[in-house]
Amino acid sequence: MGIVHHANYLHFFENARVLWLEEHDRPYRWYLEEGLHFAVTRVEIDYRSPARFGDELSVATWPGWVRGASLAMRYRITLGEETKVIGLTEHAAVDDHGRVRRIPRERREALAQLASRTP
């Protein structure tokens, strides 16, 4: 069909989230070393306009909110000035065994501070 398959946007979200954490908080591997993972619990994607093979897309991401053991990330995928997709992922913080675990206070406060300055 010549357009980006809808499922690929989830990969774009994930890559953007990992890069955002590395640039603004801690590398994701730091969380893994602490035995903390962010399991996706919810996804929202609003497809505005299809992206096509070869398009050079930009993905903006930022934290939507942070709670004791969960957080949300927001996304906007654009081609130039045109918004192609907007989205949201919600995540539960879990340990290596999949049990819900609170985000460490220092990280939670830092992430919440970043969430308060979002677009």
- Domains, the chain, ordered by start: 8-115 (3.10.129.10)
For residue 118, pLDDT over 70 is answered with no
Least confident range from 3-17, 52-66, 87-101, 104-118: namely: 104-118
pLDDT of residue 116: 83
Which tokens in the block code for residue 65?
């909110």
Q: pLDDT-derived band of residue 107, with 50, 70 and 90 as boundaries?
A: very high
Strands (E), 1-119: 37-47, 58-66, 70-79, 82-94
Structure tokens at 59: 């993905």
**pLDDT score of 117 more than 90:** no
pLDDT at residue 30 in the model: 94
> Which class for 53: exposed (0-12), middle (13-18), buried (19 or more C-beta within 10 A)?
exposed
Read off the pLDDT of each residue in 71-100 and give the average, rounded to a whole number.
Answer: 98
Model pLDDT, residue 2? 85
pLDDT in tens, 18-77: 999 999 999 999 999 999 999 999 999 999 999 998 999 999 999 999 999 999 999 999
Phi, psi of 68 (to 5 degrees): -55, -50
Task: Note the pLDDT of residue 16.
Answer: 97
- Alpha carbons 43 and 38: distance in angstroms, whole number: 13
Residues near 92 by beta carbon (within 8 Å), at least 6 away in sequence: 38, 39, 41, 69, 70, 100
Q: What is the pTM of this model?
A: 0.91
Contacts of 104 by beta carbon, 8 Å cutoff, 6+ apart: 34, 36
